[in-house]
Amino acid sequence: MIDPAENLAEVQRVLASAAAKAGRADEPITLVAVSKTHNSSRIEPVLAAGQRVFGENRVQEAAGKWSALRACWPDIELHLIGPLQTNKVREAVELFDVIETVDREKLARKLREEMTRQGRELPVYLQVNTGEEPQKAGVLPREVDGFVRLCREDLKLDVRGLMAIPPADEEASLHFALLKKIAQRNDLCVLSMGMSSDFEIAVTFGATHIRVGTAIFGDREHHVMGSDTR
Ligand SMILES: *Cc1c(COP(=O)(O)O)cnc(C)c1O
């Protein structure tokens, strides 16, 4: 039996204690509840418990679930945390409130165009491939400064911060520290880093946003969309 509301409360307790240990008890740290693959019946108890910030990694899937949920909970803040194809930008700008995965010029330009067209300026984060993994999305660390400049100065995007997913087989703290260093030298205050397994460490290293899925909603492995198997 998964009790997402109870899990949420536990994650909030762990987060509060990690923040206190890091001397950050007074700083806001935003918990982004990652609801990808889970359907509405599992998300609703978390909404009822007061959680308002959610992360989804697919535009299509998010559109299906969240248009209905938003009708009941209009004050949701929805973050896109997965790769964004340029042909989905229009829908993404309509649906999401924050885009965390801006990682290439073509996408940045398309976002600019679409935000202007819709008259909707969304905060964006730039995704950094701190581990320089070839299969992973994100700007390489050495290219971030130039990309920040392009997004901010040329495209006038509202760049708030950086996001990263450390390599699975490496010490996450090294990647968190690197992300923080890059953010500081670019005057960016948002650091989206830390997931279910490592968000306490991320808080120690200055995360302002943690993205937690499994610890709240349970495993995604045996979960089939459209048939809630609880
Ligand atoms: C799925 C996902 C998460 C959540 O991961 P958990 O390990 O389930 O907490 C966080 N960030 C991104 C980018 C994801 O795709």
Check: pTM over 0.85? Answer yes or no. Answer: yes
| Ligand 1 proximity of 57 Cβ (cutoff 6 Å) | yes
pLDDT at 11 over 80: yes
State the distance from the centre of ligand 1 to the C-alpha of 153, rounded, in angstroms.
Answer: 30
In ligand 1, the atom with minimum distance to the C-alpha of 196 is 9
Q: pLDDT category, 228, cuts 50, 70, 90?
A: very low
What residue's CA is closest to ligand 1, atom 11?
Answer: 211
Residue whose tokens read 């984060």: 125
Task: Return the half-sphere exposure (C-beta side, CA atoms, 13 A cut-off) of residue 152.
Answer: 14
Beta bridge partners of 138: none
- Whether 162 lines ligand 1, by a CB cut-off of 6 Å, is no
CA pair distance 172, 168, nearest whole angstrom? 8
Ligand 1 atom with the smallest distance to the CA of 32 is: 10
Give the tens place of pLDDT for each residue, 161-173. 999 999 999 999 9
What digits encode the pLDDT tens for the residues 179-213? 999 999 999 999 999 999 999 999 999 999 999 99
pLDDT for 39-72, tens place per residue? 999 999 999 999 999 999 999 999 999 999 999 9
Residues 104/91, Cβ–Cβ less than 8 Å: no
Structure tokens at 146: 């130039």
Taking the centre of ligand 1 as the mean of its atom positions, its distance from the CA of residue 105, in whole angstroms, is 24
Per-residue model confidence (pLDDT) at position 2: 87
Q: Pinpoint the alpha helices (H) of the chain.
A: 4-21, 40-48, 59-72, 89-95, 105-118, 144-149, 172-185, 199-204, 214-217
- Which of 11, 58, 61, 81 has the most ligand 1 atoms within 8 A of CB, as the residue to mutate? 81
All residues at 6 or more sequence positions from 148 whose CB lies less than 8 Å from its CB, including other chains: 126, 159, 186, 188
Using DSSP's 3-state secondary structure scheme, residue 87 falls into helix
Residue 19 CB–ligand 1 contact under 6 Å: no
Q: Do the bridges between strand 77-80 and strand 98-102 make them parallel or antiparallel, or are there none, so unpaired?
A: parallel
pLDDT value at 229 more than 80? no
Q: Are 68 and 40 in contact (CB under 8 A)?
A: yes
Is 212 a pocket residue for ligand 1 (Cβ < 6 Å)?
A: yes
**pLDDT for residue 224 is more than 60:** no
State the DSSP code for 18. H
pLDDT over 50 (residue 143): yes
Residue type at 169 in one-letter notation: D
How many angstroms separate the CA atoms of 73 and 131, rounded? Answer: 37
pLDDT (0 to 100) of residue 76: 97
